[in-house]
A and B are shown apart, each in its own frame.
Chain A
Amino acid sequence: MGYYDIDDILADSVEIPCKFQHDIPGLGYLENNPGKPVKKNAKLELPLWLARILAIIDGDTNEGELNQDEESVPFVELLTPDMFSPKVINAIKADPTSLDLHAINSYFYALALKWISLFSDREFADIVTTLLLERSQAINNHASSVSVEFKSSLDSVRGTQVTAGASNAAASMFLLTLDEFEKKVYKKSHESYKETKKWMFEK
């Protein structure tokens, strides 16, 4: 994931529920009332790019040596967002392929990856791994079922070449549930299968 990666930037702007662990003056605009302080234990939704940093840096850094002995408390505590709640995890365990990942979050894998590296959550990593593996089978099936109308391209009567035939309803239903990463994979592999098939049967 690069610095200039658009999908990464969009994934980083997804909001995560956070709990503030300090009173902080001046930051009220995060709660949409500027000028006021943010109170301790206030729950807000912060974009991941902000929340990730605030969850690591502790609020005592500028107070120096006064309370070095105490364990430092970071500005915010990240709360588990809906997309990683037990409800979703159970749904993943039950049937990965029928899950509507796009509705849960369109950057599910990117966020899961960030979440896993933040909390070093091996259990969740295993769940996401099986999720990806199971869904990739279905993606490959849909990507490889290329219906190319060779007739029209060979006849060249119509001039326009109909390459992608009418994809059936079941396929398009599944494709609507793909998250952004899976869409990319689908697009690329579909293109690859299509190019190969075209090369095999034309000329």
Chain B
Amino acid sequence: MSLPKHLQETFSPEEIQFIVENEPIKIFPRITTRQRVNMVNKNASQHWKLITTDDWALNNMVATQSTTVVLWIALLLKQQSKCSIVAPEWLTVRALDRHIQYEKKNTDRFSELPWNWLVLARILFNRAPEDFHDPVHELRSRIQDLREIRQTKVLKGLKYLNESHLQLDNLSLLEINELRPFIVDIMDKLREIHSAAVVAGNEDGNNEEDDFDFS
């Protein structure tokens, strides 16, 4: 078909990164784009004109005054050393330690990390490692810890797959994305088995009401 098979029901990790790159992030610009009042019309051609994101912030950057832009622009500016990226507040050793504590204490739930934590952490570690206040290797190891703790919880949760539903609060997009093919396929088959027995049973006239809540 026109869409490759491996993309038909899910996202590739690159597409997940693309989605995450559309999120706003705080930066310290190292350039000034704000025009003086009397120069506004002269350099109009140098203005950013964007249709997918707000270009006001980009046309009003003042060096070292923090501002918020979309992540993909931040990465482009960072690449040319025209800004430094401010790491979000959850991406500090202290905050991550708190999350790890929470994960260890509550074995039945996931801690409230943002939906893009894994992707954002990886992007920033690779592209802006010198912009962190904490040493990157410590952050890296804590992200890895979190990932492993959550993976064991996922493994535990998979024992409760059923034909109707599953609640996965606070599971991030990348974590959901790597599980999607497995969970969806298995639950789909469970549902087929369940409904084959139930629907056929109904035709025979021995339907039990409570079985129809899910179907």
- Using A113-B192, A120-B203, A203-B126 as known contacts, say yes or no to A184 and B197 having CB atoms under 8 A apart: no
- Tell whether B10 is near chain A: CB-to-CB under 8 Å: yes
Interface residues of A in 107-139 (CB under 8 A from B): 109, 112-113, 116-122, 124-125, 128-129, 132-133, 136-137, 139
- Using A116-B193, A192-B10 as known contacts, say yes or no to A185 and B161 having CB atoms under 8 A apart: no
- Using A133-B161, A199-B14 as known contacts, say yes or no to A188 and B197 having CB atoms under 8 A apart: no
- Tell whether A105 is near chain B: CB-to-CB under 8 Å: no
Interface residues of B in 161-215 (CB under 8 A from A): 161, 163, 174, 177-182, 185-186, 189-190, 192-194, 196-201, 203-204
Q: How far is the CA of A120 from the CA of B197 in the complex (A)?
A: 5
A71: min CB distance to chain B, Å: 15
- Using A191-B6, A199-B17 as known contacts, say yes or no to A128 and B193 having CB atoms under 8 A apart: yes
For the complex, count residues of B whose C-beta is within 8 A of A: 36
By the criterion CB–CB under 8 Å, are B189 and A121 in contact? no
Q: How far is the CA of A54 from the CA of B118 in the complex (A)?
A: 56
- Tell whether B64 is near chain A: CB-to-CB under 8 Å: no
By the criterion CB–CB under 8 Å, are B17 and A185 in contact? no
By the criterion CB–CB under 8 Å, are A195 and B13 in contact? yes
A198 CB contacts on chain B under 8 angstroms = 13
Query: Which of A117, A119, A192 meets B178, CB within 8 Å?
Result: A192
By the criterion CB–CB under 8 Å, are B190 and A129 in contact? yes
Q: A residues near B, CB below 8 A? A: 109, 112-113, 116-122, 124-125, 128-129, 132-133, 136-137, 139-141, 143, 181, 184-185, 188-189, 191-193, 195-196, 198-200, 203
Top 9 A-B residue pairs of the complex, sorted by shortest distance between their CB atoms:
A120-B200, A199-B13, A125-B197, A189-B182, A117-B196, A188-B181, A196-B178, A120-B201, A116-B196
Q: B residues near A, CB below 8 A? A: 6, 10, 12-14, 17, 118, 122, 126, 155, 158-159, 161, 163, 174, 177-182, 185-186, 189-190, 192-194, 196-201, 203-204
